[in-house]
Structure 1
Amino acid sequence: MKTLSPELQHYLTDLGLAAPHQPSLAFVQQLQGRHVACHSFNSLSVVLGEGLPLDLASLSDKFVTRGLGGYCFEHNKLTFELLAALGYEVQLVLARVLNNRDINAPRTHRVTLLTLDGSRYLIDTGFGANGPISPLQLTSGLRQTSGLDHYQVTSHETCFGVREYELQIEKDQAFFTLYRFDLATYSDADCELGHFYSHKHPHAVFVNNLMVSVKDQQRTASLQNENFKMVTRDGTQIQQIESAEALQSLLADVFSIALELVVAEHLFDRFIGAKWIAEKRREQ
């Protein structure tokens, strides 16, 4: 059995898992499902201007000890390092987030490619409400179910002879492209560039939006600025957040994130209050 660092053992134990005697897909499925259900995807540290170090000690403290979650460069680093330490064949991959647009996007999303028993899988514990909760086969055109969602991975060869892949989610009976990636060799140094852009650039999505989500087999709960959405097998419910107190309660009750009221007030005023007041005025 592999000997893990204290940080990785802390992460593994917190998810209620034990190190497998040998690599198996069943363990990866459990790891990914429990991770995205337990550790929220969110932009809180970004919008609060906090430091976001990517070393394992800092990630273990933030995710496991303090329960604060984070975004892709944090989530997928933790998952990647655990799988690598357990003897899995994993590759760090950087992707361009497209959200169904034909744009020249930078590589600002980190994911993991797993090779196991002759098959390749995409592992992503850090894409929020649209992300999969289980490994996806890297088989082009195969419709795959992951929790409440359906996905497919497509591939094509560019004019330069590079094989590119796209992860797509099914929405309204059509496939919506989430991100595109290739299988080039990337390192933590490459991640630092995308990470810096994602939490420091004035136009970065995470800098300009309050985003939080968790998901499991039965539900996807997500907050984006003033809108809270709950998706279950019975349908979708959307409600607007109308006060700092409501925001504080929602973060605690649904996402297990405890914030002082003064912090919730700051977040409400910055991302919700002005929009909510303007909408109320339009209704009058």
Structure 2
Amino acid sequence: MAEQARGWSGDLLDLDAYLARTGYEGERAPTLAALRGLQRAHVTSIPFENVNALLGKPVALDLETVQERLVRGGRGGYCYEHVVLFAAALERLGFEFTPLIGRVTLGSDKILPATHALIAVRPADDDRLWLCDVGFGAGPLEPIEIADGVEVDLDGWRFRMVRGETTLGVDQWWLHQYGQDGWAHRHTFTLTPQYPIDYAVGSHFVSTHSRSPFTARLFVQKFTATHHHQLDATTWRTFRPDGSATERKIEPAELGRVLADEFGITVEAAELAHLEQGLASA
């Protein structure tokens, strides 16, 4: 059950700048309609990227640092940064919510660390509990009700929510996504509340550990209603709601243009040089 979250620095958020960055022009109230609009605006405007982690730079989660990068700096971030920013906006607008932690599966049975940040939200005008997954880099465009068997089609992108096995009285939830090979579970989570310190611990692992994929190679994503662009090192894939996809390799020298033009990410010249060198030597 969602609770009134605390400690997410909503009072420090430059709300006007955040809404301008995302292009959201709807009502500023804790309603379901606003929640849907806020998530759609966020996931289609702020990209996913791991540049700082790859370059060995600290990934600070204090709100001022996060909004300086994601709102004012023309950059993106990974799930913890996205959720910290989104939680601040929800707190500022008066939503009742609980930040969560999930375990990415991507259809595999392999047990991976629980390092994916999510939010459960209960709007003021709706009794249902909604999952906001704004930091995965691949949608969904809008919140999904946390209820067993719920299936949604959001501009052709299909998702469903499934309640899994219950362990010691704790429900396990699975978010499934429909893709080229049919339905596959994307991640699993419980409704155990998380706090900023919990995210700090998870983010430290993701951004520094030698076994984290984000310290090993460049990974960037840009999601819209019609396309999901994904850059994995030099492999650039574009997925569409109908399941079709294209793929090509980019040259290291193309990286700056591709990041700016296709993913909306501007990196400093020195950072770009390091990234290009890493791609060339991979």
Normalising by the residue count of structure 1, what TM-score does the alignment of the two structures yield? 0.88
Partner of 1:223: 231
SS of corresponding position for 1:254: helix
Task: Choose which of 37, 45, 55 in structure 1 pairs with 2:44.
Answer: 37
**Alpha-carbon contact 1:123-1:136 (below 8 Å) kept:** yes
SS of corresponding position for 1:179: strand
CA shift, 1:261, in A, is: 5.1
* 1:95-106 paired onto structure 2 within 5 Å: 95-106=102-113
Task: Choose which of 149, 158, 161 in structure 2 pairs with 1:150.
Answer: 158
For residues 143 and 232 of structure 2, what CA distance do their matches in structure 1 show?
A: 26
**Alpha-carbon contact 1:95-1:107 (below 8 Å) kept:** yes
CA shift, 1:142, in A, is: 2.0
Give the 3 Å change call, closer, same or farther, for CA 44–148 of structure 1 in structure 2. farther
CA shift, 1:32, in A, is: 1.2
Q: Which has the larger radius of gyration?
A: 1
Task: Choose which of 250, 258, 269 in structure 2 pairs with 1:241.
Answer: 250
Q: Which has the higher contact order (CA 8 A, sep 6+)?
A: 2
Identity among equivalent positions (%) equals 27
CA shift, 1:210, in A, is: 0.6
**Alpha-carbon contact 2:253-2:276 (below 8 Å) kept:** no
Give the 3 Å change call, closer, same or farther, for CA 205–266 of structure 1 in structure 2. same
* 1:17-56 Cα deviation digits (max 9, x unpaired): 3573532222112211111221110111111122211111
* 1:1-284 paired onto structure 2 within 5 Å: 5-17=12-24, 20=27, 22-116=29-123, 117-129=126-138, 131-172=139-180, 174-232=182-240, 235-242=244-251, 244-260=252-268, 262-270=270-278, 272-275=279-282
| Mean Cα deviation higher: 158-167 or 200-209 | 158-167
For residues 28 and 49 of structure 2, what CA distance do their matches in structure 1 show?
A: 33
Give the 3 Å change call, closer, same or farther, for CA 22–33 of structure 1 in structure 2. closer
* 1:205-232 Cα deviation digits (max 9, x unpaired): 2111211111111111111111111233
CA shift, 1:140, in A, is: 1.4
SS of corresponding position for 1:228: strand
Aligned residue pairs total 270
SS of corresponding position for 1:163: coil
**Alpha-carbon contact 2:13-2:88 (below 8 Å) kept:** no
CA shift, 1:260, in A, is: 4.6
CA shift, 1:16, in A, is: 3.3
CA shift, 1:255, in A, is: 1.4
**Alpha-carbon contact 2:155-2:241 (below 8 Å) kept:** no
For residues 149 and 266 of structure 2, what CA distance do their matches in structure 1 show?
A: 42
- The structure in which a higher percent of residues are strand is 1
Give the 3 Å change call, closer, same or farther, for CA 192–259 of structure 1 in structure 2. closer
Give the 3 Å change call, closer, same or farther, for CA 105–214 of structure 1 in structure 2. same
For residues 44 and 176 of structure 2, what CA distance do their matches in structure 1 show?
A: 21
| Mean Cα deviation higher: 45-54 or 13-22 | 13-22
Partner of 1:282: none
Give the 3 Å change call, closer, same or farther, for CA 79–140 of structure 1 in structure 2. same
Give the 3 Å change call, closer, same or farther, for CA 28–48 of structure 1 in structure 2. same
SS of corresponding position for 1:119: coil
For residues 281 and 23 of structure 2, what CA distance do their matches in structure 1 show?
A: 42
Normalising by the residue count of structure 2, what TM-score does the alignment of the two structures yield? 0.88
CA shift, 1:93, in A, is: 0.5
CA RMSD of aligned residues (A): 2.0
For residues 98 and 84 of structure 1, what CA distance do their matches in structure 2 show?
A: 29
